[in-house]
Amino acid sequence: MPYSVETLIAWMKVIFLTALIVLASREFLFEPVSVHGHSMMPTFEEDDKVILTKISGIENFDLIVFQASDDKNLIKRVIGLPGDRVEMRGDQLYLNGEAVEEPYLEENREWAKQHGFPFLTADFGEYLVPTGCYFVLGDNRLNSVDSRTIGFIMEDAVIGEAKLRISPFKHFGLLK
């Protein structure tokens, strides 16, 4: 029994609406991305897959993906928000004059000490994060292109905040 024209039109509407919802969600709400490089190890490894949310507000220590000047997308940790003062002394991060713990760096600090590096992060003087910008650092501080070299990240360069790792499956879950 062939389908009627009305049935075909109804199915075409359903397919079109579904495609529209998927495309709108990807453009304005969520986006899957792959991690490339070693600058965030061990937090992220090469080819990890994460889901970004494009509607959350960015806070200190959030993980963001942004468009770098060479048209590559980078994933880093937001250290400083607009108006924050960021400084590193003696491998200790200071945010607005207060020492801040960075538990996500423990594995990298241990590796650095075992390999003869006295500090994971070299000292840098105080940066005042301008309006409309972020100061970001990679978790693998000995091997990261971040705000120490490329400067502040403009808010409009941010694609989204990494919220969920979907691959590899053994690391599936919400990101901290």
CA-nearest of 89, 65, 61 to 77 is 61
pLDDT in tens, 56-111: 789 999 999 998 877 788 999 999 999 999 999 999 999 999 999 999 999 999 99
Give mean pLDDT, residues 38-43: 90
CA distance 32 to 48: 11
- Using alpha carbons, list the distances in angstroms from residue 154 to 125, 150, 175: 21, 11, 23
What pLDDT was estimated at residue 122?
92
What DSSP element (H or E) covers 110?
helix 106-114
CB-based burial label for 49 (10 Å; 0-12, 13-18, 19+): middle
CATH architecture entry for 5-169: Ribbon (2.10)
Look up the pTM and report it: 0.82
Residue ranges covered by each domain of the chain = 5-169
Question: Do residues 78 and 67 lie in contact, with contact meaning Cβ atoms separated by under 8 Å?
Answer: no
Q: Is residue 47 very low, low, confident or very high in pLDDT (cuts 50, 70, 90)?
A: confident
Catalytic residues: 39, 76
High-pLDDT (> 70) share of the chain, %: 93
Highest-pLDDT range among 18-22, 45-49, 128-132: 128-132
